[in-house]
Amino acid sequence: MNNRIKILRQQSLEAINTISAERALLVTEFYQSNASKGLSIPMTRAKAFEYILANKFICINNGELIVGERGPAPKATPTYPEICVHSQRDLEILDTREKVWFRVDEATRKAFDEIIFPFWNGKTNRDKIMEAMSPQWHDAYKAGVFTEFQEQRAPGHTVCGDKIYGKGMLDIIDDIQASIQQLDFINDPQAFDKREELKAMEVTARALIMWAQRHAEKLEEMATETDDSSKAEELLQLANICRKVPAHAPQTFHEAIQYYWFVHLGVITELNPWDSFNPGRLDQHLNPFYQEELTNGTLAKEQAIEILQSFWIKFNNHPSPPKVGVTAQESNTYTDFCLINIGGVKPDGSDATNEMSFMLLDVIEEMRLLQPSSMVQLSKKNPDQLIDRTVKILKTGFGQPSIFNTDAIIQEMLRMGKDIVDARKGGASGCVETGAFGTEAYILTGYFNLPKVLEITLNNGIDPSTDKAIGLETGNVSDFITYEQLLSAFQKQVNHFINIKIEGNNTIERVFANNLPVPFLSLVIDDCISTGIDYVAGGARYNTSYIQGVGLGTITDSLTALKKHVFDEASYTLSQVAAALQNNFKQAENLHFDLVYNTPKYGNDDDYADDRLSEVFEIYYNAVNGKPNTRDGAHRVNLLPTTCHVYFGSVVGATPDGRMAKVPLSEGISPVQGADSQGPTAVVKSAAKIDHLRTGGTLLNQRFTPDFFKDDTAIRKVSQLVRSYFRMDGHHIQFNVVSSDILKDAQLHPENYRDLIVRVAGYSDYFNDLGEDLQNEIIHRTAHEEF
Amino acid sequence: MHGIIFDIKRFAVHDGPGIRTTVFLKGCPLRCQWCHNPESINKEPEQVQKTVWLNQKAFTKTETIGRKISDTALWEELQKDQIFMEESNGGITFSGGEPLMQHQFLSSMIRRCKKHGIHSCIDTSGFAHTSTIRELEMPDLFLFDIKHIDKDKHLQFTQVDNELILQNLRFILEKKIPVRIRIPVIPGFNHSEEDQEEIADYLTQWHQQIEQIDLLPFHAIANHKYHRLEKEDQMLKAASIHSEELEKYLPIFHQRDFRVTIGG
């Protein structure tokens, strides 16, 4: 990377995460002013958006090639009081917590205390949601049976398609006008509402153009102030770009990226949608611009890379807006899950890999930034070169890019009833969520704690941590004679809690549709303009609601242990096990030992355990799949945890797989930490026993030491492992290259690392099986190989 | 037909081409002082005490090393990773112990591999009766250990003489079976340019047929295993060799047109 990028990158890394009161103050000012009175809800939201963009500080960082910041400075992070308002106590926590902190200065504190909090307290969307929820919902929510995504952040979870690369905002306004012309006030009772929505969309489109012009003015002003003529020239070039896009369709590579970035900022300024926003299939969108300019001689490869790198830094300047309370534990990270997709297939189904795919991989490797996240879509049609290049980056222990199965993703979408071209234009976003880019609102609604439901089942509907009856009475432990009876009780409890969750979801969707439409986001997701319906109200072509199951490994191993020790072998009674769980295995050490060491575990390609996984999957799938949402779409399942397995673990006592109380659950569809002892092929075979094609995404994490990536031959074998998993319809796999710190932890807690294989010398062995001296040697060697 | 095995390792990526499953057959006639699989020597299953940790508390678990398994049952287990073998042009490696000690069982397994089009490989010390080698169903590849050319030194460090080994190597090479040579480099035994040159000279006549030579540095890795088997007195007490120390041997093999790696 050149000097300019080095400096910008360093600045981004060193920028301090702060809370900025700017947006909250502007939105409060607007709602307090007369300008907000008498408007329809969509128009109120549009005018608030316009007010923010007209008045916010224009921040241009020295030397950057892509301009625009959400806050007044890099990592100055706004809040969204119309969604939820931060109290003094919240700000205090954010300022002082050990991890993922945001500094709050005195002026900000004062603004919240005197203006923002008093105005919004009791009037936020969060207040409306909490008020609308049933007592059963509140009980389950407090017990940690499920979480609620929309409580502190807006529904987003979507990705930009290819629309903006062919249409400027002025073209989009023409589409809006045409849609208004089409409205049928005689036959369509919603025509008035649609017109309000469409008018609101136009206001936001014009607001974005206005905001870009403000950037142009500032850049021109900066150009007159500098004595450096080449600097002045560069600033004027940037100003020209801001005058051109987003008003008009982009014609150059640079314009295309700047246009996307303005749209990105528009989406995350309008509200705080989950997973921010995302350019999606970036190599597909950018390559035509790049190739054309390369041919015309108007852009060199080095320039293109410099622009891309400057773009990457912009993502890193934008941490996820801070939450507090439960949602902070759900996803406690600065990452805002903007997942850039590389590779995959073209709309006609052919291999989509192009020169830009590999340029983006180079940028990812060189930038090594937390944000944006990146992934490679691997189809059977993509060349091995793509996967080998990806594995080479993974070798550096950076954890990115993750690898997704394009062919599975497309089949998942076809199963959900999407058009094949829309499916091929899609991919995965956030963590691993399947979606059609530019045409779908696929809302994650919350995580679902499967092991917690087993705990409640084993306590006849009572949550043992509060002694409160929150589930159904499905029988005392002494009543279960067969494993099938126990499983059937578990199924009833799952259905019970899923129904509570869905009832909540369908209420919350209406709270958003009625109070917080997003006319700006609706501009870029089809078919909101042609239908005249907002993104949150069902205007997108496809409308999916996901509920994400968590703790698959823990629940599978728990049921396996009960089936084996209680029902098949009758070595313990269910009451004995339940008592041991209640006491967190105190005075039950032999039982504990049998549960951990004498029980088949998921992740070892052992059907005794893996069949339990299929049972759980079917129960969960049948509870959720196909239940309607309010947006003319349906609920679907996902199997991913982000970091919620930690929070969910903290509310679950000891489990029959031998897990101690409060310890994290297993994550995604990965086996319980350390329970897989037959190597990665056995793990992926076990994981492939789930029917991934009936989900909207699964997450599998696989641990490797750097030795497995030692040379091209070794890398090839890891690539082939991935290909094999994908042949079995696996959705996603990501590699964690083990660090020396992890190895040190494995020395201290060997039971958590039963799966850890290290290369010794010409062969591999389980780390636990090595003598301490050799363990030390391998730790030393791994540390040496780290970057 | 039954054999005795002591381990099956899936995703074995160092034992031949592609992703492989390696099955370890129990029993070995050699007594190499540096043996890192001492549990493989005895042909019969044996019990060991293993310390297992739970909650920072030690539990003693009795484990049986080695199990009797039928060729049909073993084949079923080996097929579990067929999809990976297909995807990577991998296959199955038979290691030990010394797999040739159970040559009839081994031949039966190799025949199954051939019947199903799965690549097979034997990882061997080469120590077996001439008749054994002649009767053996030939695999697609041999990983063949050459430890020393000097007869006496070989006898002193492994308790067997190398005459049969070298004869068997010649037999395999003459049958045009692909071979990779593995040389464990052991301090005080063959860790010198002289020793390595002697090996290289001996192999030169077959340099076109030998696919590759792997130099495997000695690692003091098996202390815990000797401890578990209560055989600590039989362990070679020497320091590990770092991979870099073997780089000086590379030219010896390069000069003779061999493809050579360190560590395989």
- Please report, for chain B, the start and end positions of each structural domain, with discontinuous segments joined by +: 2-262
Please spell the DSSP secondary structure of B1-19, one letter per residue.
Answer: -EEEEEEEEEEE-SSSSSS
**Count of positions (residues) in chain B:** 264
Q: Is A762 on the interface with B (CB under 8 A)?
A: yes
Chain A hits for B11, Cβ within 8 Å: 679-682, 721
DSSP 8-state secondary structure symbol assigned to residue B42 = S
Nearest CA-CA distance, residue B264 and chain A, Å: 6
Residue A234 pLDDT more than 80? Answer: yes
Q: What are phi and psi of A41, to 5 degrees?
A: -60, -50
Query: What is the spatial distance between Cα A718 and Cα B88, in angstroms, rounded to a whole number?
Result: 10
CA A627 to chain centre: 23
CA A655 → CA A69, A561, A677, distances in Å? 47, 10, 20
From the list A593, A717, A762, the residue facing B59 with the nearest CB is A593
Residue A330 pLDDT more than 60? Answer: no
Q: Is A736 on the interface with B (CB under 8 A)?
A: no
Interchain proximity B10–A678, CB inside 8 Å = yes
Q: Look at residues B84, B75, B98 and name the one whose alpha carbon lies nearest to residue B24.
A: B98
**Residue B38 has which token pair?**
């001492």
Q: In this predicted structure, what is the pLDDT of residue A783?
A: 66
Q: Is A92 a catalytic residue?
A: no
pLDDT digits (tens, 9 = 90+) for B164-209: 999 999 999 999 999 999 999 999 999 999 999 999 999 999 988 9
Residue A303's pLDDT band, with cuts at 50, 70 and 90, is very high
From the list A658, A681, A716, the residue facing B81 with the nearest CB is A681
Q: Is A475 on the interface with B (CB under 8 A)?
A: no
Q: What are phi and psi of A173, to 5 degrees?
A: -65, -35
Nearest CA-CA distance, residue B170 and chain A, Å: 25
Query: What is the spatial distance between Cα A455 and Cα A450, in angstroms, rounded to a whole number?
Result: 9
Interchain proximity A721–B14, CB inside 8 Å = no
Q: Which of A84, A160, A431, A644 does the annotation list as catalytic? A: A431
Please spell the DSSP secondary structure of A371-424, one letter per residue.
Answer: SSEEEEEE-TTS-HHHHHHHHHHHTTT---SEEEEHHHHHHHHHHTT--HHHHH
Tracing tokens 């049609």 back to the chain, one arrives at A381
Cα distance from N-terminal residue to C-terminal residue, chain B: 33
Query: What is the spatial distance between Cα B16 and Cα A763, in angstroms, rounded to a whole number?
Result: 11
Q: Is the peptide bond before A78 cis (omega within 30 degrees of 0)?
A: no
Interchain proximity A660–B55, CB inside 8 Å = yes
Q: Is A84 a catalytic residue?
A: no
Interchain proximity A764–B9, CB inside 8 Å = yes
Q: Interhelix angle for A384-394 vs A355-367, to 10°?
A: 0
List the single best residue of B6, B7, B13, B24 to mutate versus A (max A Cβ within 10 A).
B13
Predicted confidence pLDDT, tens digits, chain B (264 residues) = 999 999 999 999 889 999 999 999 999 999 998 888 888 999 999 988 888 888 878 888 888 999 999 999 999 999 999 999 999 999 999 999 999 999 999 999 999 999 999 999 999 999 999 999 999 999 999 999 999 999 999 999 999 999 999 999 999 999 999 999 999 999 999 999 999 999 999 999 998 899 999 999 988 766 677 777 777 766 677 888 888 899 999 999 999 999 999 986
Query: What is the spatial distance between Cα A511 and Cα A498, in angstroms, rounded to a whole number?
Result: 20
**Opening angle at CA A683, ends A682 and A688, nearest 5:** 100
pLDDT digits (tens, 9 = 90+) for A12-54: 999 999 999 999 999 999 999 999 999 999 999 999 999 999 9
**What is the value of ipTM here, to two decimals?**
0.92
Q: What is the pTM of this model?
A: 0.93
Q: Is A58 on the interface with B (CB under 8 A)?
A: no
Q: Look at residues A412, A575, A560 and name the one whose alpha carbon lies nearest to residue A483.
A: A560
Q: Which of A270, A433, A455, A615 does the annotation list as catalytic? A: A433
Nearest CA-CA distance, residue A717 and chain B, Å: 6
**Residue A669 has which token pair?**
């569809």
Q: Is A685 on the interface with B (CB under 8 A)?
A: yes
From the list B81, B220, B263, the residue facing A762 with the nearest CB is B263
Chain A hits for B216, Cβ within 8 Å: 761-762
How many beta carbons lie within 10 A of that of residue A302, not counting itself? 9
**Residue B237 has which token pair?**
């007490």
Query: What is the spatial distance between Cα A683 and Cα A703, in angstroms, rounded to a whole number?
Result: 11
Q: Is A723 on the interface with B (CB under 8 A)?
A: yes
Chain A hits for B219, Cβ within 8 Å: 760-761, 774
Tell me which fold the domain B2-262 belongs to: TIM Barrel (3.20.20)
Question: Which H/E stretch holds residue A616?
Answer: helix A607-624
Structure-derived torsion over alpha carbons of residues A517, A522, A526, A530, reported in degrees to the nearest 10? 80
Chain A hits for B240, Cβ within 8 Å: 777
Query: What is the spatial distance between Cα A196 and Cα B136, in angstroms, rounded to a whole number?
Result: 84
